[in-house]
Amino acid sequence: MTKQSKTSTTLKYFGRQVAFYRNRADMTQAEVAELVDGYSLAMIKAVEQGIRAAKPDLIAQIDRIVGAEGALLAGSEHIAEANYPTGFGEQANLERDCVWLHSYEPNTIPGILQSEAFARAVINAHTPTIDDDEVERLVRARIERQQLFGRRPPANLSFVVEEHVLRRPVGGPEVLRAQLALLLEVSALRHISIQVMPTDVQEHTGLDGPITLLETARRRILGYVEGQLGGVHVADPEEVSVLTQRYGIIRSQALTKTQSADLIKKIVGEL
């Protein structure tokens, strides 16, 4: 079973559990929607159909409203993680509450920085092909991660991306142009740094692959590395130290924040 079908099965099973407890409480979807705070009837329907993954606060509200007595809450963490590809759910949860985050991405624009159209193009390129509902779920989850940009207190975020990544017309020139405009908008924020690794740098420390580092809300520093089949966390202090050293060197080899913004503007002008 592929990771996409596993996700769909998980959400459909949970949706049936929600419907079971709602029916047991002799309530309609509309009645539940009237009692939940911050979510529409369409969302309630989508959760029961297994199309959308409910957030923990929505699960908690539904559990209370239909009298499930914690049965729906028991798996809420796993349901929230079902919004993301295999292995990334836990990382997304850590990212949401992080103190700071550093990311080097050699192959594409980091997911959290992607526009909706760009993200959809990237996800649509996945092999094996992903169902339309799954594509939309993954796109929504990726865009929702951008709530971190406006969080208070703010997290300090830094990203290093390869120049060639900014030139690949994923989704077509118009999608790429809008994506680069988003990068410029985000990089203008004081607590976010986006740096570009120029293609003319002959070799650098990031050639071994992507790196993500973050400090958790509990002040623990963790690494995260991704491959073709998913990602893994790095918790061993010696290994985290190696990744931290590498990322520091990568940043020093990249263009500055201002130089990077100027290069992005130049690329936009060439489209």
HSE-CB at 268 with a 13 A cutoff on CA atoms is 15
Verdict on whether the full-model pTM lies above 0.85: no
Going by C-alpha positions, the residue among 56, 5, 47 that lies closest to residue 22 is 47
Q: For 76-94, what is each residue's pLDDT tens digit?
A: 766 766 666 655 777 888 8
Give the tokens for residue 48: 């029961």
H/E segment holding residue 181: helix 173-187
Closest CA to 157 of 102, 92, 107: 102
Residue of 65, 81, 63 lying closest to 73 (CA atoms): 63
pLDDT (tens place) for every residue of the chain, 271 residues total: 344 445 567 788 889 999 999 999 999 999 999 999 989 998 899 889 887 778 888 999 999 999 999 999 887 766 766 666 655 777 888 898 999 999 999 999 999 999 999 999 999 998 888 878 778 888 988 998 999 999 999 999 999 999 999 999 999 999 999 999 999 999 999 999 999 999 988 888 888 889 999 999 899 999 998 877 777 889 999 999 999 999 999 999 999 999 999 999 999 999 8
Asked if residue 168 lies in contact with residue 160, where contact means CB atoms within 8 angstroms, the answer is no
Kindly report, residue by residue over 39-80, the tens digit of the pLDDT: 999 889 988 988 777 888 899 999 999 999 999 988 776 676
Work out the percent of the chain whose per-residue pLDDT is above 90. Answer: 63
